[in-house]
Amino acid sequence: MKVVVCVKQIPDPATPYTIEEGTNWLVRTADQVLDDTDRYGVEMGLQLAHANEGTVTLVSMGPSGNAQGIRQALAMGADKAVLIEDDGLRGSDALSTARVLAAAIKGEGYDLVIAGTESTDGYSGVVPQMIAELLDAPALTYATSVEAGEGSVTIHRQTADGYDVVEASLPAVVSVTAGVVEPRYPTFKGIMDAKKKPVDNLTLADLGVEIASSQKVVSITDAVERTAGQIIEDDGEAHLAIVALLEDRKVI
Amino acid sequence: MADIWVFVEQVNDAPSALGLELLAKAREMGDVTALFLGEGSDQVFATLGDHGADSVVHIDAGDRLPSGPTAAALAEKIASDAPDLMIFGQAYNDRDVAGRLAARLGVGVLSNATDVRLTDSGVETDHEVFGGAQIATAEATRRPFIVLVRPKSFVAESAGGSAPDVTTLDLPDAGTSDANVTASHVEEREGPQLGEAAVIVSGGRGLGSAEAYAMVEDVAKQLGAASGATRAIVDAGWVPYAKQVGQTGKTVKPDVYIACGISGAMQHLVGMKDSGTIIAINKDPDAPIFSVADLGVVGDVHQVLPKLVEALQTR
């Protein structure tokens, strides 16, 4: 089984993000990290490939920088990576991203595509569905568990009040929620092996994809800030202040 | 008048709360067609009319996963009817249908909007960024326009409209993009739910362990409140996803929100900062949660919460 996992490198969420003047684009530094939620997709892909004598290929779009996030995913056990980097992709929207990833996935060949449900920096939340449409494949979304084999895939799909069991034939696209499986930590051997694994670097021209974004951020303004209220140190009696406020708000 | 289409999903036997919020906004903007996904009933259609839908396009996908066939059928309808704007919610089926539809039509989507406006050149949307500290305004200029709006951005309200015209959307035969729903499971739930609760007590990583979440539930029980959680402790497997408040979880606006051991990551703040009153308990005096709190207690949740429960019990 050929498993392709979509991953994304993002600016470290622990550091303050900055916005480029003029374009309103997020500034991307060289030392980006693997989006934490993608570790779940990588782990799911590794487990399914292992159970079905398959391979795992990573596909990623964006400024690769020093590619440490990609190396992290390779160190978990993925076989190879395809990186698409192109100046023409700066500020690209969800559809452009999906077109590029779908073209790269087609180029690699696939039985199962796995992605997170949304990235931690962009949050558009529609890229896996768009990829599925462009591949004319089913999109089994928000999976909290995944089983695949013998030409079909079955997931538990998160719903507002529980989950649905959803089945489809392969090839298919699956988006996984954080927590679908417990991601492994790379071993020392994994980290060393990752340095030798193949990484293909592609451009838009290599993929034959032309993109034209039809949307942009026109302004960023400060929101009306909520003002901080009273801050107290707990001296052993702080719970009484909470009780008093709850009384004032007529909660109790 | 502009022609506005709004995606509304059936939840239990009624239109979803989110769908009714979107109808309230859409009817300010033009003539409203509800794209209604679900079994439907005269009662449900009447509710849609009452909330401002002039007409209803009924979509019943049966046991098929709705996104594939619905997007294919809507794409054809859009080609002939050319709506000025399509509004979806930031919700599971909405995202699936909107994403597939946009890719099919070759247009982008504006996601996570908190407001939407038609302009001379296209459509403009507002988005909370950096935990809501700033508002980004985005513009799309290629028709047809597809916008996804976050829950609780607008207030659902009856408009006293009459019963709408209902037509059925014909879905294509099953193809390679189809998937089937073979079973549905509803999780047992007790007490008030996050979406509707007047008071919410939430826990974060500062609790230190999954077991300590019981303290959060104790406080919630005393107050008749719903219990929530941050993404960090959901990812850690301490509590189920259904309790997650934030960007990738639920957006809540209770009268009172009590944040226990929550630092206030951007991801979390976006989902709760519009609460009426915010009370925060955290050991770190520099935690960002204190910048939005009406009452901030710098202290250990393991000390404060048991005393709070006791004080509430003895009242």
**Out of A131, A220, A234, closest to residue B304 by CB:** A234
pTM: 0.90
Q: How far is A72 from chain B (nearest CA, A)?
A: 19
Residue A124 counted as domain residue? yes
Residue B256 has what pLDDT? 97
> Is residue A59 one of the residues assigned to a domain?
yes
Q: What is the DSSP string of B215-264?
A: HHHHHHHHHT-EEEE-HHHHHTTSS-GGGBBSTTSB----SEEEEES---
How far apart are alpha carbons B266 and A122 in whole angstroms?
13
**A238 found inside a domain:** no
What tokens appear for A163 in the block?
């989950």
* B129/A128 CB distance under 8 A: no
Whether the CB of B293 is below 8 Å from some CB of chain A: the reply is yes
| Residues B19-41 pLDDT 10s | 999 999 999 999 999 999 999 99
Q: Whole domain around residue A37: which residue ranges?
A: 2-207
Per-residue pLDDT at B291: 92
Q: Hey, what domains does chain B have and what are their CATH numbers?
A: 2-168 (3.40.50.620), 199-313 (3.40.50.1220)
| B276: closest chain A residue by CA | A249
Q: Is residue A233 part of a domain?
A: no
Identify the residue with better confidence: A219 or B4. Answer: B4
CB-based contact B298 A232, cutoff 8 Å = yes
pLDDT beyond 90 at A3: yes
pLDDT of B298 strictly over 80:
yes
Mean pLDDT of A15-39: 83
Condensed to tens digits (0 to 9), the pLDDT of residues B199-225 reads 999 999 999 999 999 999 999 999 999
A142 CB neighbours in chain B (<8 A) are 92
Evaluate if residue A16 carries a pLDDT over 80.
no
B90-106: burial string, b at 16+ Cβ within 10 Å, e else:
bbbbbbbbbbbbbbbbe
Model pLDDT for residues B188-204, shown as the tens digit of each residue: 777 788 988 999 999 99
pLDDT of B3 reads 97
Q: Would residue A220 count as lying in a domain?
A: no
The answer for B 37-56 residues in CB contact with A (under 8 A) is none
List the CATH number of the domain containing A146.
3.40.50.620
The stretch B278-306 carries a mean pLDDT of 96
Residues of A in contact with B110 (CB under 8 A): 215
Kindly determine whether residue A223 and residue B67, on different chains, have CB atoms separated by under 8 Å. no
Residue A184 lies in a domain: yes
Contact A203, A107 (CB under 8 A): no
Among B191, B214, B198, smallest CA distance to B309 is for: B214
Q: Is residue A73 part of a domain?
A: yes
Residue A14 pLDDT: 73
Q: Residue A211: its pLDDT value, please? A: 85
Number of domains in chain A: 1
Question: In this complex, how many residue pairs, one in chain A and one in chain B, have their CB atoms less than 8 Å apart?
Answer: 263
- How many residues can be counted in chain A? 252
Q: In this model, does residue A250 exceed pLDDT 80? A: yes
With 80 as the cut, is the pLDDT of residue B132 above it? no
Per-residue confidence band for A27, with pLDDT thresholds at 50, 70 and 90:
confident
B139 touches chain A (CB under 8 A): yes
Q: Is the dihedral of CA B169, B171, B172, B175 positive or negative?
A: positive
Q: Do B255 and A251 touch (CB under 8 A)?
A: yes
